[in-house]
Structure 1
Amino acid sequence: MFFIYICEDNLSERKFIEKCVENYIMIEDLDAKLKLSTDDPHLLINHVQENPNDTGLYFIDVNLQTDMNGLELARKIRDLDVTGKIVFITTHSELSFMTFTYKIEAMDYIIKENLGELTGRIRDCIDVSYKRYLCEKGGKQKIFKYKVGNQIRTVNYSDIIFFESSSVPHKIIMHLENSNVEFYGTIKELEGLGEEFCRCHKSYVVNKNNIKYIDKTNKRVVMKNDEICLVSVRGMKKLK
């Protein structure tokens, strides 16, 4: 599902944006949802940190009357959600150049002057970002997101050889072609990644597309980079 977020400290203006978003989702029957609307930038950041696999469209007021302005908020979101679309809504047209200073790569910068134009621009942003979301969703490359420190990183499914439980509690080792990455998670959480992956053992989830061959006698699989993963009896049935 495509998610939309709003951070605006003016209650009446926030309600207006909410109405525009919800009406457009309903009229166009989009597989989308207004996930969070708030005046608190910290609440939005916490949500993005806690939901690393969610991405979408962010409508952000530049001049938030808090300890964090909209540009700072957008920069933090960009660090956490590298594929998210960011739209600024503000009365301060003179601040538009600051989006380049902050290196945010904003999708649009909408001025709060004409309500009719504001509604149209909001709808246009939803339409364009939703179409891009569908293209990415239906594209050949699927993307896995994982968190290292305070950063959300991505890797193509096809580049993942297998996942392995780490000796460090609650950590996973992701094996790539020529490197390994360790991050917090559990093997169980990785079972539902998609049909490309199979949990073949209590400690391993393998990318079936990157298996070199299956050694049934010794109950193991040899991956295309020649690394070996153990296979349980139940796991062997799944691989067959």
Structure 2
Amino acid sequence: MRGLLKTFVVEDDPEQLATLKKIITNHIMINDFDMTLALATDTAQTLLDYVSANTDTEGLYFLDIEYAGQQLNGLELASKIREQDVNAKIVFVSTHAEMAFLTFERRIEPLDFIVKDLGQEAVKAKVEKDIRIAYERYNKQGVANKAMFSYSKGGQLFNLPLAQVLFIETGTSRNKLVLHLTDRIVQYNGKISDETVAHPELFRVHKSFLVNPKMLVRVNKQDQLGYFANGETIDIAIRKMHDLLALIKQSQLPVKLN
């Protein structure tokens, strides 16, 4: 199981904000979910600032459609969240049922659209159901990501065990990546920043290298190099060395350090 699933609420009506906070915190506590209500605010920009500052966030977001007097509306906020958190679970809670179609037009892919006019009990039931669905998907997604690595080449999707991945490096051409596996090397289209988000088990040791820490056999701190069993090496940026060593120690990986 992964870390806590963070939950966020943006609602500019104080009473409704308090109600959503209570529903969410109670449901998390009663079910003993590994979740937390990370932020509940009446200002859209506050949430956007949080997500922008915490680029590794994977969350469940409860948003309204309209925020009176604010620069961002809920649709714009959701679109910006989706850019930062590609796995975001977004739920709209709004009186503007007629706006639901816009969430599809803008490719926001919401988990749910809850109409406030349904009444407090119906809204409560839907919010609780969405929490359970988001939590289940979050944990299943974590298992899948840890077990498998996927890439697309020539219009075909390839899946392989993550344990076969040594590292990924940027290619010589724009938007080209080179995937180093235990038994072969594959070049495909992609961005290393996207792979960093899609595969949190991999660690960005350099602007050009994304490594599978479990496949390292040795790290030379002085020469700033990482070694693999097949003899390949990668450069490790000075500013990344401390974090990599901390990860190796925390995860108790059998990596030789010198």
Using structure 1 for the length normalisation, give the TM-score: 0.70
- Indicate the RMSD between aligned Cα atoms, in angstroms: 3.7
Query: Structure 1: which amino acid aligns with 2:37?
Result: L
1:131 equivalent in structure 2? 136
Residues 1:31 and 1:182: Cα distance change in structure 2 (over 3 Å): closer
Query: Structure 1: which amino acid aligns with 2:132?
Result: D
Aligned mates of 2:164, 2:104 — CA distance in 1: 32
1:84 equivalent in structure 2? 88
Q: Which has the higher helix share?
A: 2
Q: Give, in angstroms, the shift of residue 143 of structure 1.
A: 8.8
Aligned residues between the structures = 200
CA contact (8 A) 1:2 1:130 kept: yes
- Aligned with residue 53 of structure 2, among 50, 74, 77: 50
SS of equivalent to 2:167:
strand
1:70 equivalent in structure 2? 74
Q: Give, in angstroms, the shift of residue 68 of structure 1.
A: 1.0
CA contact (8 A) 1:191 1:199 kept: no
Listed one character per residue, the Cα deviations across residues 98-120 of structure 1 (whole Å, up to 9, x for unaligned) are 11121100111101120000100
2:187 equivalent in structure 1? 178
| Pairs within 5 Å for 1:4-23 | 4-23=7-26
Q: Give, in angstroms, the shift of residue 160 of structure 1.
A: 5.7
SS of equivalent to 1:87:
strand
Residues 1:6 and 1:193: Cα distance change in structure 2 (over 3 Å): farther
Unaligned runs of 5+ in 2: 150-160, 170-176, 180-185, 197-202, 237-244, 249-253
Listed one character per residue, the Cα deviations across residues 130-154 of structure 1 (whole Å, up to 9, x for unaligned) are 001111122254699xxxxxxxxxx
Q: Give, in angstroms, the shift of residue 186 of structure 1.
A: 7.2
SS of equivalent to 1:67:
coil
Aligned mates of 1:102, 1:239 — CA distance in 2: 49
Query: Structure 2: which amino acid aligns with 1:40?
Result: T
2:107 equivalent in structure 1? 103
CA contact (8 A) 1:90 1:112 kept: yes
Q: Give, in angstroms, the shift of residue 44 of structure 1.
A: 0.9
Q: Give, in angstroms, the shift of residue 97 of structure 1.
A: 1.1
* 1:34 and 2:34 are equivalent in the alignment: no
Aligned mates of 2:43, 2:31 — CA distance in 1: 29
1:167 equivalent in structure 2? none
Query: Structure 1: which amino acid aligns with 2:255?
Result: K
Q: Give, in angstroms, the shift of residue 84 of structure 1.
A: 0.8
SS of equivalent to 1:178:
strand
Aligned mates of 1:120, 1:78 — CA distance in 2: 25
Aligned mates of 2:50, 2:147 — CA distance in 1: 23
Query: Structure 2: which amino acid aligns with 1:56?
Result: G
Between 71-80 and 49-58, the greater mean CA deviation after superposition: 49-58
Aligned mates of 1:63, 1:230 — CA distance in 2: 48
CA contact (8 A) 2:7 2:37 kept: yes
Unaligned runs of 5+ in 1: 145-155, 165-173, 214-220, 223-227
Query: Structure 1: which amino acid aligns with 2:102?
Result: M
CA contact (8 A) 1:96 1:109 kept: yes
Aligned mates of 1:78, 1:17 — CA distance in 2: 22
Residues 1:31 and 1:238: Cα distance change in structure 2 (over 3 Å): same
Aligned mates of 1:79, 1:121 — CA distance in 2: 26
Q: Give, in angstroms, the shift of residue 41 of structure 1.
A: 1.4
Query: Structure 2: which amino acid aligns with 1:96?
Result: A
